[in-house]
Structures are given as structure tokens and as C-alpha cells.
Amino acid sequence: MMDFIEIRDPEIDPSQIMEQIRARIQRRREELGYPRMVFPTFGVAAYPGEPEGEEYDADLYYHLRQANKHYHQLGVEMLIVPSHRSRIPLLGPLWDRIRREAHNLVLFYVNKLAQRQLVVNRHLVSTLNRMAVQLQEQQRQIRTLQEELRKLRGEL
């Protein structure tokens, strides 16, 4: 971010002043009873990939990779099986048209539902991706703590 005002006094710390301002704003919001706002990140959490150089559950990452690959493939296309009634003179073409329009109506509502499901799938896959990242980090922390514990036991 570009600074509009340059402060050259070494006794003035702009970051400390900004922190005090933020703290005062937060205190004032709490005094007035404003709810604490938490804003979500936007966008999809990306597939973290398999951990390199670490043991991991291959099944978990296989299914996570497949979920990331296929979560958005929900569209339904028209599929009308030919009917023997289509060959009836005069009524056959009318029957085909009625069937086609009925299928279009069903597809319209199915695809609207699929759009909603896609949003849910996107959030679920993003959640799973974030959880996999946290799981990797927790596994690293556990290994570090176990190593420290072994060292401490060795010193006793």
C-alpha cells in the first residue's frame, strides 16, 4: 500500500498508532453492542496435494483428489429414447414434440437443482481441502512433539 504521509520522526511508530486505533475501534464497537464480524474468504480452497516426504493415507488423498476433479460435473442433458408411437401418422410428430417439451421442463428444474448442489459441493470440497491441510500440519506438530518427548525422556 502506498503511504500518503511520510513520518520521519523516529519516536513515532505508525504501526503502533494503527494498532491503537484498531483496538479503540474494536472496544467502541463492543461498547455499542455491535456484533463481531468475521468475513469468510472467497473462492475455492485448492486441493493441497499429497504431502511430500511424509507418510499419508493414500485412500484419503485419492478420494479427495477425485472429489476435487468431479464436484462440478452435475449437468443433465436431454436423453429421449425413440418410441414406437413416433411412427404413427399425424400423431407421431405431435407425440414426439410433447415428449421433448416435457423433458425440457424436467431438465430445467433438474439443472436448477444441480446448480444449487454445485454450490454445496464447492463448499464441501473446499472444507475437505482445508481440513486436509490442517491434518497435515497437525501430523507435523505431533511428530515434532513426539521427537521432543523422546529427547526429554533420553535426558532423564
Q: What is the pLDDT of residue 38?
A: 67
Q: What is the pLDDT of residue 153?
A: 92
Q: What is the pLDDT of residue 137?
A: 93
Task: Tell me the pLDDT band of 63, cut-offs 50, 70 and 90.
Answer: very high
Is the CB of residue 76 less than 8 Å from the CB of residue 111?
Answer: yes
| CA angle (78, 99, 79) in 5-degree steps | 20
Q: What is the pLDDT of residue 39?
A: 64
Is the CB of residue 47 less than 8 Å from the CB of residue 72?
Answer: no
What is d(CA 140, CA 131) in angstroms, rounded to the nearest whole number?
Answer: 14
Q: Grid coordinates representing 46? A: 485448492
Q: Is the pLDDT of residue 134 over 90?
A: yes
SS3 label, residue 57:
coil
Q: Is the pLDDT of residue 1 over 60?
A: no
Task: Tell me the pLDDT band of 80, cut-offs 50, 70 and 90.
Answer: confident
What is d(CA 88, CA 82) in angstroms, rounded to the nearest whole number?
Answer: 13
> Per-residue pLDDT averaged across 29-40, rounded?
78
Q: What is the pLDDT of residue 109?
A: 92
**pLDDT-wise least confident of 37-46, 92-101, 128-137:** 37-46
Does this model's pTM top 0.75? My answer is: no
Is the model more confident about 62 or about 13? 62
Q: Grid coordinates representing 74? A: 452435475
Is the CB of residue 71 less than 8 Å from the CB of residue 125?
Answer: yes
Q: Is the pLDDT of residue 2 over 60?
A: no
Residue partners of 48: CB distance under 8 A and separation at least 6:
129, 132, 133, 136
